[in-house]
Amino acid sequence: MRLVESRLTGPVRVVGVGLLGTSVALGLRQRGVDVILADASPTHVAIAVDLGAGRAAAPGDAPELIVVAVPPDVTAQVVASELAAFPDAIVTDVASVKAGILQELRDQGADVTRYLGSHPLAGRERGGPLAGRADLFQGRPWVVAAHDDISYRRASAVDDLILDLGGTLVEMTPEQHDRGVALISHVPQVVSSLMARRFIDAPSDALGLAGQGVRDVTRVAASDPDLWVQILGANAGSVRDILVAYRDDLDRFIDALADPAAPGARRRVAEELAGGNAGVSRLPGKHGTDKRFATLTVMVDDRPGQLARLLAEIGEIGVNLEDLRLEHAQGRQVGLAEIAVLPEAVDRLSTELAARGWRIAG
């Protein structure tokens, strides 16, 4: 019996049961869809089956839709193979680069009238089937890389997949997608990794000063290098263009710092920093808006139940929590909870929490 109504009727074949593939499968199984699992690793298939993500592939399977979730450097090859093996199925993939895959399929003479690439902008630091989550795509942008060779009727199966899994459907051309992800994902990965590389020979006492800011900047530096070599190689042109512009920004900054007392040097530094303010203000916030929130920092004792108590009391006060970030205070048995709320609510929340005995740090 289906727990949630599904737009897809199935069966859906998922090729590659790592993080994304298993998450797709788990989400579809929650909606009662028959999911067929295939992977180069029988162990991965067995784990995914044990997790309830579907059943192992068998002769005679006739999938309605095929989702290819394999590494980027073999995606086109696997998509072409699936198109040939299942001539009645629609095939999509979830690779993070789109234009090169479509071109490679066309060069091979594959039937791209049944192929529509897609890319969910969702993930976790861990990979593999055990990291899969049925809710991974909830509320996340999921790009459909539209092209002229596929009909609307066939493309609708991919739309249904995205909507069934709770994604927010975004339509772009493959080229628009690749330029977009270079800016918001691929170049930030490079910048984060290069910044974290500075830590290799850094003194331990300096690293001991690290707070949430540097952890935010370098969080994605922990990502899999092998995967990112593939992604960056596949989107090299778009990534390089942005890195060249970024290098120009750095050069201006370096030149200004060479003699900060020189006429105009401080102005140039201020302009570069203000440019960052202007850029970050354009990033969509919660609910896809650009509303800026006020932040209140509350000290939370490192004891069981304290964070739960804080959140419960915020609810009792009647203030909506827009975002929450936790940081451990260095050398102290206390945490810092950075609470984001609407600006008009921050003063009342601060007063009410202080009256209840909470220590407000800022």
pLDDT of 41-99, one tens digit each? 999 999 999 999 999 999 999 999 999 999 999 999 999 999 999 999 999 999 999 99
Residue 115 DSSP class: B
The Cα-based distances of 65 to 69, 90, 107, 151, 213 in angstroms read 13, 5, 23, 15, 43
Token code pair at residue 40? 């180069």
Q: Are 63 and 35 in contact (CB under 8 A)?
A: no
At residue 202, the 3 state secondary structure works out as coil
CATH of domain 12-172: 3.40.50.720
Q: Where in the chain is the domain with CATH 3.40.50.720?
A: 12-172
Digit-by-digit pLDDT tens for the chain (362 residues) are 345 678 898 899 999 999 999 999 999 999 999 999 999 999 999 999 999 999 999 999 999 999 999 999 999 999 999 999 999 999 999 999 999 999 999 999 999 999 999 999 998 767 899 999 999 999 899 999 999 888 766 778 999 999 999 999 999 999 999 999 999 999 999 999 999 999 999 999 999 988 888 988 999 999 889 989 999 999 999 999 999 999 999 999 999 999 999 999 999 999 999 999 999 888 876 544 445 678 888 888 888 888 889 999 999 998 888 888 887 655 556 788 888 888 888 999 999 999 999 998 75
The order of strands in the sheet holding 12-15 is: 55-56, 35-38, 12-15, 65-68, 90-93
The Cα-based distances of 18 to 15, 99, 122, 132, 294 in angstroms read 9, 23, 13, 7, 38
Pick the CATH number of 179-280 from 1.10.3660.10, 3.20.20.150, 3.40.50.720, 3.30.465.10: 1.10.3660.10
CATH of domain 288-360: 3.30.70.260
d(CA 118, CA 165): 13
Residue 329 DSSP class: P
d(CA 266, CA 323): 34
Residue pointed to by tokens 């970024």: 246
Q: Where in the chain is the domain with CATH 3.30.70.260?
A: 288-360
d(CA 254, CA 126): 36
Print burial letters for 83-117: b (CB count within 10 Å at least 16), e (below 16).
Answer: beebeebbbbbbbbbbbbbbebbeeeebebebbbb
Token code pair at residue 44? 């991965």
Please list the residues that pair with 299 across neighbouring strands.
Answer: 336, 359
Residue 203, preceding bond cis, omega within 30 degrees?
no
Residue 275 burial (CB count, 10 A)? 11
Phi-psi region of 139 (alpha: psi -120 to 50; beta: other; left: phi over 0): left
At residue 32, the 3 state secondary structure works out as coil
The pTM of the full predicted model, rounded to 2 decimals, is 0.78
Rounded to the nearest 5 percent, the helix, strand and coil shares of the chain are 50, 15, 35
Q: Are 321 and 341 in contact (CB under 8 A)?
A: yes
Amino acid at 71: P
Q: Where in the chain is the domain with CATH 1.10.3660.10?
A: 179-280
Which of 223, 209, 118, 116 has its CA nearest to residue 170? 118
C-alpha triplet 117, 119, 123: angle, nearest 5°: 150
d(CA 140, CA 122): 6
